[in-house]
A = this chain, B = another copy of it.
Amino acid sequence: MTAAPDAPSPHVPSAEPLATHPAASGAGNTATLTISCPDRPGIVAAVSQFLHRHGANIIHSDQHSTDPHALESGGSTFFMRMEFHLGGLDQTGDAFAAAFARDVAGPLNMDWHLSYAARPKRMALLVSRYDHCFLDLLWRKRRGELNVEIPLVISNHEDLRRDAEMFGLPFHVVPVTRENKPRAEAEQVRLMREAGVDFAVLARYMQILSGNFLQAFGRPVINIHHSFLPAFIGANPYRAAFTRGVKLIGATSHYVTEDLDAGPIIAQDVVPVTHRDTPESLVRVGRDVERQVLARAVKAHVEDRVLVHGNKTVVF
């Protein structure tokens, strides 16, 4: 997928190590193909036929045209996600991918991505002092809800070390100050790249990432913001919500771009509040919706359900 000009692409670029995918066998083995390309007639037919010919049985299929009525004029973009069984694949994954590139993706000018359930994505967690989003993700992984590996946790504080270690996770503290920020970010990126991280999640990490960080990391970063964006961008959204007297508070999970709190939104939700709520009770109530929304967004990303289109997302 081509990176948007002003944002690191939330999809792993084509350097995806297809060569190291697991053997395409096993009854439970599935793969997911995501596609975006200029819309035109026949795309579903071409892809579904290719998969059928190569012995892949489609389990789920979703598609979206941004403007089906503009199909003739070239004004529509097409998105598709297909999940299929690898059981009947007549070739190794490499040959399958090469054939798809040659026969379908090339002619139809596709950005595409292929991932295998048996090769879980590798997720880095960046945290500060709040534990709720962090622990919720660790639990969900433990329960089998999130098909990820977590090679490391990075924090600018010591507070959550014990929680991380309880779950058997390496915990790296990289203090961040105004002065050392460039060096600290370089160290964070180095740690994540060495760990072979596919994407990072800011689980209430309380530092703003610089454009340098995003470019050097070059992979998707998911954030949870504690407001219903675009309301209450920036610091202290619960205080701002209290001051404005809103009757709902929310949380928004989005891909991080250089524009603060302005990246593509993946998931949002709200909960009702009343005049009885204080800034403190909003924080408490908000924790529940923050962790739910972040978990939903991470799960969607992990399952290749999120495709980015400009500054928006398609979430299948």
Contact = CB atoms under 8 A, between A and B. Distances in A.
Interface of A: 27, 41-42, 44-45, 48-49, 51-52, 55, 57-65, 68-69, 71, 85, 88, 131-132, 135, 139, 143, 145, 166, 228-232, 244-248, 250, 264-270, 274-276, 284, 287-288, 292, 309, 311-315
A265 to B, nearest CB: 5
22 contacts: A27-B69, A41-B58, A44-B48, A44-B52, A44-B61, A45-B45, A45-B52, A48-B48, A49-B49, A61-B63, A131-B143, A135-B139, A228-B228, A230-B244, A231-B231, A244-B312, A245-B265, A245-B311, A246-B265, A247-B267, A275-B312, A288-B292
A68 B63 contact: no
A265 B272 CA distance: 13
A195 to B, nearest CB: 26
Contacts of A41: 52, 55, 57-58, 88
Contacts of A270: 228, 248, 250, 270
Nearest to A233: B231
Contacts of A132: 139, 143
Nearest to A268: B247
A275 B231 contact: no
Contacts of A309: 275
Contacts of A143: 131-132, 284, 287
Most buried by B among A52, A132, A269, A313: A52
Nearest to A56: B41
Contacts of A45: 45, 48-49, 51-52
Contact of A231 (B63, B228, B276): B228
B51 A59 contact: no
A71 B44 contact: no
Contact of A65 (B59, B274, B288): B59
Contact of A313 (B60, B229, B245, B266): B245
Contacts of A65: 59
Given A139-B132, A230-B231, A57 B44 contact: no
A69 B83 CA distance: 13
Contacts of A59: 65, 68
